[in-house]
Chain A
Amino acid sequence: MIAADNPPTPDGAVLLEVQDLSTCFETGRGPCPAVDNVSFRVHEGECLGIVGESGCGKTVTCLSILGLIDYPGRITSGQILFHGQDLRKLPERTLREVRGAKISMVFQDPQTALNPVLSIGAQMFDVIRTHEHCGQRHAQEIAEEKLRAVGITDARARLAAFPFELSGGLRQRVTIAMALSCNPELLIADEPTTSLDVSIQAQILDLIQELRHTFDLAIIYVSHDLGVIANIAESILVMYAGRTVEHGPISAIMKSPAHPYTRALIESIPTLRSDHRKARLHVIRGSRPDLGDLPPGCAFSPRCERALPICTTDRPEFLVIGPDRSCACHNIYR
């Protein structure tokens, strides 16, 4: 089940580097650190998986990269280096040129991600013509080409259709096609298969893999499902309560996770065992953290089986613990 087609290319250039990113939301009860000192790197052509429970800050991180955090949230610190250039320092107009053309995104729910009153074609043409500055004819060619690339055969007919006329899987293919219409270098996929039927999930995953090779894409794949990530990513970043807890190559982490939370996630993956009738599903005890009211020290400590006294007072730093591996824990598994 654990298979990464291409091992990471350590000598591939760094495409995106996020350093100490923090995004905070002002709520009625006080500031809420949705993203807290997150750092990671994505190389060209690499697929990084970001894993964590709902609400752990994965989506906010992605939106922060694109500068799409609205009031009452704002990015409070950090650098977002794309090809070495800090995206945070760019004016909105330049940032708009990056969005869609250099860095693109696919969302979880294709049902709501498309404008219901405009045809597929109209929406795709808009995106294409915003970035390519070309005529209608050329835009149509590009759109058809991209639709075919995602496996949609009667591209021309589909362009004239409206979102409600398409099935879920087809809609998600369309959103992927839209995201790739201007040949971005980095694609952020925010749980693109979560709201689809299981059979369609596999198709879309395969599609993304394929497109990755065809278009030489780097991908940030966000999911709460470790099983899915294990299938597609080379390296993974585990997040909890807005903080990074572990990072490293997928094979190494799956074999020997360092952080108790990562280990618990791996153990939670249901597997078919010979004694499955007697076995129980592994559950992480405790409940989800309240980002507005985190305990001092390690955010996972209330639920951790390996918690030490220091875990409740000192917040662990995100330290390098091995070649290409980092972890934030006082009591890592060795």
Chain B
Amino acid sequence: MSKFILRRLAQSAFLVVGVAVIVFCILRFIPGDPALLMAAPGTPKQAIEGYRTLFGLDKPFGVQLITYLSKLAHGDFGTSFRYQTATLPIVLQRLPNTLRLTSLGLFIALLIAIPLGVEGARRRGSWIDRFGLVLSIAGQSLPVFWVGLLLVLVFAVHLRLLPAIGSVGWKSIVLPALTLALAVLPPLLRIVRTQMIDVLSQDYIMTARVFGLSSPRIYYWYALKNASIGLVTVLGVQIGYLIGGSIVVEMIFNYPGVGMLMMNSLNARDFPMIQTIAIVVSVTFVLINLLVDLIYGLLDPRIHVEG
């Protein structure tokens, strides 16, 4: 088991480094001079040259890359052009916000998807099943940002129930989390339902019924434990979409998370910050996927054989 983890960590490390290099390259091959962009209009040429030297932008590309990588190896993530301080602490300070947002969104989505999927599979053709299918396909067709905007329109502008922007306590996380939840709900609902339908047709469910087990136990434990395997497999990919979606949601609701930081850094051409965010997100993503794999191993005893 631990050999498995080690191998995965090694793979992940490669991937993270790969991502860092790719982002680095992308940022260097662009038109526009970050030093020029950052300087206030009218700044004398020497000062701009000074910026360039300070941030090492005048050296050839290869040198920049190697310097960057070696600095990374020492834990130096660079200094933000915008904030003039180290990038990593800023990102890490925002990270919990985004994690909170995405976890809440995922939680809400699962809270709706699982019962709806189980009951829909159990009573195929019933109104629950049909409702679930409609919700699923409608949810997949809704643009995330539109939902967010509509929620703002209804709850903040018209009803004045919840704040539109800012981060004042729990109220500010509700709308963004709901938006995210709606975005990720359809694929989760689909897979729960599909997996449950498959599981419910298996013989061991009939066995459980023959032995007189109660319905809740059969559906929400016997069946669901098997169906969860398929669900967890898909979860890793969905988390990727969640992370992507959180950017949009944070932008709409002005939620102070990593996503918004990313957008602002992109607009300001803050290279070090962008790079750091990319690395942090990559590492987070990789760790989450590792966690998902571990859960998968817990659910399905059969895969231990392969290690």
Contacts and interface: CB of A to CB of B under 8 A. Distances in A.
A and B touch in the complex (CB under 8 A): yes
A314 B66 CA distance: 94
B49 interface: no
A199 interface: no
Nearest to B304: A162
B212 A131 contact: yes
A66 B206 CA distance: 11
B212 A68 contact: no
A117 B204 CA distance: 11
Contacts, number: 76
B211 interface: yes
Nearest to A105: B210
Is the interface on chain B under 10, 10 to 19, 20 to 34, or 35 or more residues? 20 to 34
Contact of A100 (B211, B226, B229, B301): B211
A68 B210 contact: yes
Interface string B177-216: 0000000000000000000000000111011111111100
A87 B77 CA distance: 74
Contacts of B209: 68, 99
B208 A115 contact: yes
Interface in A173-219: 175, 178-179
Contact of B213 (A104, A105, A119, A130): A130
Interface string A92-118: 000011111100110101001111111
A162 B301 contact: yes
B214 A113 contact: no
Contacts of B212: 96-101, 127, 130-131
The main secondary structure of chain A at its interface with chain B is mixed
Is the interface on chain A under 10, 10 to 19, 20 to 34, or 35 or more residues? 20 to 34
B76 interface: no
Contacts of B203: 107, 109, 112-113
B213 A127 contact: yes
Contacts of B299: 117
B226 A115 contact: yes
B219 to A, nearest CB: 13
A99 B225 contact: no
Contacts of B3: none
A117 B225 contact: yes
Contacts of A97: 212
A96 B214 contact: yes
B302 interface: yes
Interface of A: 66, 68, 96-101, 104-105, 107, 109, 112-119, 126-127, 130-131, 162, 164, 175, 178-179
24 contacts: A66-B210, A68-B209, A96-B212, A97-B212, A99-B211, A105-B210, A107-B203, A109-B203, A112-B203, A113-B206, A115-B204, A115-B207, A115-B208, A116-B301, A117-B299, A118-B222, A118-B225, A126-B211, A126-B217, A130-B212, A130-B217, A131-B212, A164-B301, A179-B211
